[in-house]
Amino acid sequence: MTIAATSPPPFKRLLLTGAAGGLGRELRRRLKAYCAVLRLSDIAELGDAAQSEELAPAALENAAAVIELLADVDAVVHLGGVSVEGPFQPILQANIVGTYNLYEAARKQGVKRVIFASSNHVTGFYRQDEVIDATMPMRPDGHYGLSKAFGENLAQFYFDRYGIETVSLRIGSSFAEPADRRMLATWMSYDDLERLVVASLTAPVVGHSVIYGVSDNATTWWDNTPARHIGYRPQDSSEPFRAAAMARQPTIDQTNPAALYQGGGFVTKGPYE
């Protein structure tokens, strides 16, 4: 259910990249309440434009196309890129070169706020018996996590040098419900995803803020206290799904690195050559 927005919409035009992905599809229908025009971009099929939508397909590694993509945009919700662990070259092009192109386009087009979809895999090699916050050193668990660590550093640089504000969202597991025991700690509901993105867009001052994208779960590995200034207050919890998740996964192999580290199965993927 879409959370009620203020009236009139606070933004004239928002850009949503990665709009054809799982979270992109959710935010596509939700963010229209907060802007007069929602510009949608992806390299995958976007379907037909609905009322108040603009379709603008673009490959993130195409610098010229990305500069055009950010024209007349108030803010960017950047979900675009490779969203899973895998070989380095595709991740390099979409997530590293592509994110650089996006920030350069923001600089050239005068866009002053970016909501960057980072990932919990930036810190995937912390253990599941630890509680960490975003001030602690990064420990990426693969090529994907490395690319998101680069994106966070890029966001810090563009704020320090050019004053472009970013909220880097270390998204956990945002699905309709938790699929397994790990997700009891990492799950974020779609409604909390909307709350997080809207808080990130509308907080008056964010600088470069890093916050974990997670609901108010009873089990948690991430302390969001350092980012409470953006106003995100999750309202959902994985607890109603606990019994079903544990029934699907009644035991855990404590010798499996995926059960020991916060990154789960990502810590065991690769090498790819």
Residue 143, CB-side half-sphere exposure with 13 Å CA sphere: 20
Contact present, 272 and 264 (Cβ < 8 Å): no
Alpha-helical (H) ranges within the chain are: 22-31, 63-69, 88-91, 98-109, 143-162, 183-186, 190-202, 242-248, 257-260
Contact present, 187 and 98 (Cβ < 8 Å): no
Alpha carbon distance 114, 103 (integer Å)? 8
Alpha carbon distance 44, 114 (integer Å)? 22
Contact present, 116 and 166 (Cβ < 8 Å): yes
Q: Is 17 left (phi over 0), alpha (psi -120 to 50) or beta?
A: beta
| 144 a catalytic residue | yes
Question: What are the C-alpha distances in Å from 154 to residues 172, 178, 204?
Answer: 21, 31, 21
Maximum Cα interatomic distance, the chain, rounded to a whole number of Å: 55
Catalytic-labelled residue, pool 144, 190, 212, 232: 144
Contact present, 27 and 52 (Cβ < 8 Å): no
Q: How does DSSP classify residue 136?
A: S
Which residues are annotated as catalytic?
144
